[in-house]
Amino acid sequence: MARKVLVLGEARDGSLRNVSFEAIAAAKTVAEGGEVVGVLIGDSVSSLGNELYHYGADKVVAVEDSKLAQYTPDGYSQALMAVIEQENPEGLVFGHTSLGKDLAPKIASKLDSGLISDAIGVEEAGGNLVFTRPIYSGKAFEKKIVTDGLVFATIRPNNIAPLQKDESKSGEVAAVAAEIKDLRTIIKDVVRKATEGVDLSEAKVVVAGGRGVKSEDGFEPLKELANVLGGAVGASRGACDADYCDYSLQIGQTGKVVTPDLYIAAGISGAIQHLAGMSNSKVIVAINKDPEANIFKVADYGIVGDLFEVIPMLTEEFKKLKVNA
Amino acid sequence: MNIYVLMKRTFDTEEKIAIANGKINEDGAEFIINPYDEYAIEEAIQVRDAQGGEVTVVSVGNEETEKQLRTALAMGADKAVLINIEDDVENGDQFTTAKILAEYLKDKDADLILGGNVAIDGGSGQVAPRVADQLGIPYVTTITKLEINGSTATITRDVEGDSEVIETSLPVLVTAQQGLNEPRYPSLPGIMKAKKKPLDELELDDLDLDEDDVEAKTKTIEIYLPPKKEAGKVLQGDLADQVKELVNLLHTEAKVI
């Protein structure tokens, strides 16, 4: 059954997040041949429209208003409901990001619809659209279908491959009029603590440190390795609790959930709390002095040794590899 | 101040997970208050102690949920309400739970509603924002700080590691993120007192709802465990050689670099 599916294009620092392109790919599956419509919301966002076309959107619409410069649930839901009224979609796909998690339940409530959160895959099977999602902190998975109403899902970053970028595709960005009013939550201040550079939840490579890093300075070699690999630095709760780094880096059941291609755990024992945030990474490397550390049980490759010796050597080897490539 | 907390009883995910008859095997498993809801309960108690008022903890669940509600009372909540759906709802989803909670809360004139930002079992994080929408009140999710001054609330929320400072007015619904507070353990006198505190039990009927009103919009068709991971390769030999081998393996075998 062909469906019209809306995808929310989410911008951060003036460019679209990868998860928006992944959402287009998911939306193509949900659409089953129907139209995929990219939606942009902000104060000045229509210039981002072409990228949505490059990644497979069939049409792009935008709601622009100075009151939408920052995300608020009221502002964004008013904008999105205006688009929904105009486009009358049968499906919706957002990224399962901070914004998507906050906004999607409100929209689902307004539409009286179900919502499949944090999906890591979607496929057509036996006449149904079947979504896969982790449950019990990633220790099990469920397959879920929609039984009534719209097909609405948020997708976890880094799990659904975007379509091949095609820069020959482009199109118009049609403005949708919406009255944005009565915002009940006002953002007074934003304190940027998170990483400069690569976004941890979308990074292809994560280099994470635990208690074994021993100090704030101990993170420096990890940062260097992450830089060489174009990745992001993360941490275990232990490292955050010990004040070696900011909580914005924490990976785990509390903290961020990441699924990079490569996860390098340095000086992390592998408490269940931490595994919940990274065990679904594609390839896991463990570096730990303790050969009995739990992290080796989930690692694909392990080196028993001092991270302060191993990490700088790794950085050098990767540098050589990059030069030769 | 009239304060409500939305609480879920969850499987302790630190337990070993096994599947029996297509479902997570709950026999003998440990059940707990969802850890994020514990932050919500703690915050509710602290707000009440500072501002006066009453804390009511509400849960949609079954008879077993009484235990976790008693724990919340022992922490210091004043009242508990169990909406027992055991006999009426076989397979609910987030739509179901939110609808029931909103129906219960609609005439309660809550000034402040708190919940956890996500439950560690289902992991959807949908119910609280849905409830706020249905009650027509604003919400702020993943909060790490809450200050109330008269009818104004100044709230800090975690946004993927960054912090937003938000101002809003009551009534408001908030969901707790780690870092909001350190939940207390119930004291022995607290546990004794909790036995005498009111714990009301309601069913759908009492809320003028029937099964059709809350019928799920989604359905789980399969639950499975991830494939058992092969034991990883712990490298051997001279450390410099191990590092070279690792880079080579990541490049040629795993193909991630």
Environment class of B117 (CB within 10 Å of its CB; exposed 0-12, middle 13-18, buried 19+): buried
How far is B198 from chain A, CA to nearest CA, in Å? 31
Whether the per-residue pLDDT at A1 is higher than 90: the answer is no
User: For the segment A83-100, what is each residue's pLDDT rounded down to a tens digit?
Assistant: 999 999 999 999 999 999
**Interface membership of A307 toward B (CB under 8 Å):** no
Do A134 and A59 belong together in one domain? yes
The rounded distance, in Å, linking the Cα atoms of A282 and A263 is 8
Do A106 and A11 belong together in one domain? yes
Mean pLDDT check: name the lowest of A62-76, A239-253, B140-154. Answer: A239-253
The rounded distance, in Å, linking the Cα atoms of B42 and B149 is 19
Do A236 and A151 belong together in one domain? no
Do A111 and A228 belong together in one domain? no
Closest Cβ–Cβ partner in B168, B217, B232 for A299:
B232
Asked if residue A188 is part of any domain, the answer here is no
Q: Tokens 């870092």, residue? A: B179
The rounded distance, in Å, linking the Cα atoms of B203 and B81 is 11
Closest Cβ–Cβ partner in A246, A297, A313 for B240:
A313
B165:A296 CB<8 A? no
Do A143 and A29 belong together in one domain? yes
Domain that holds residue A17: 5-175
Do A223 and A138 belong together in one domain? no
Complex ipTM over 0.90: yes
Among A136, A217, A173, A163, smallest CA distance to A61 is for: A173
The predicted pLDDT at position A194 comes to 60
Whether the per-residue pLDDT at B12 is higher than 90: the answer is no
**Which of A248, A300, A318 would best serve as a mutation to test chain B binding (most B beta carbons within 10 A)?**
A300
Do A134 and A40 belong together in one domain? yes
User: For the segment B109-149, what is each residue's pLDDT rounded down to a tens digit?
Assistant: 999 999 999 999 999 999 999 999 999 999 999 999 999 99
Q: Tokens 């992944």, residue? A: A22
Average pLDDT of the segment spanning A28-43: 98
Q: What number of CA atoms fall less than 13 Å from residue B3's CA on the CB side?
A: 26
The predicted pLDDT at position B82 comes to 98
The CATH number linked to A128 is 3.40.50.620
Average pLDDT of the segment spanning B202-212: 96
pTM for this prediction: 0.92
Bridge partners of A40, per DSSP, are A9, A62
Share of chain B above pLDDT 90, in %: 87
Average pLDDT of the segment spanning A243-264: 91
The rounded distance, in Å, linking the Cα atoms of B36 and B5 is 11
B219:A282 CB<8 A? no
The predicted pLDDT at position B14 comes to 76
B233:A301 CB<8 A? yes
The predicted pLDDT at position A168 comes to 96
Amino acid at B13: T
In A, minimum Cα distance to B169 occurs at A184
A138 near B123, Cβ under 8 Å? no
User: For the segment B162-190, what is each residue's pLDDT rounded down to a tens digit?
Assistant: 899 999 999 999 999 988 999 999 999 99
Q: Which of residues 277-306 of A touch B (CB under 8 A)?
A: 280, 282-286, 291, 296-305
Whether the per-residue pLDDT at A65 is higher than 90: the answer is yes
Do A26 and A147 belong together in one domain? yes
User: For the segment A169-207, what is each residue's pLDDT rounded down to a tens digit?
Assistant: 999 999 999 999 999 999 999 988 765 667 888 899 999
How far is A119 from chain B, CA to nearest CA, in Å? 10
In chain B, DSSP assigns E strands to 2-6, 9-11, 19-20, 23-24, 31-33, 54-61, 79-84, 112-116, 139-149, 152-159, 162-169, 172-176, 199-202, 218-224, 233-234
Whether the per-residue pLDDT at B90 is higher than 80: the answer is yes
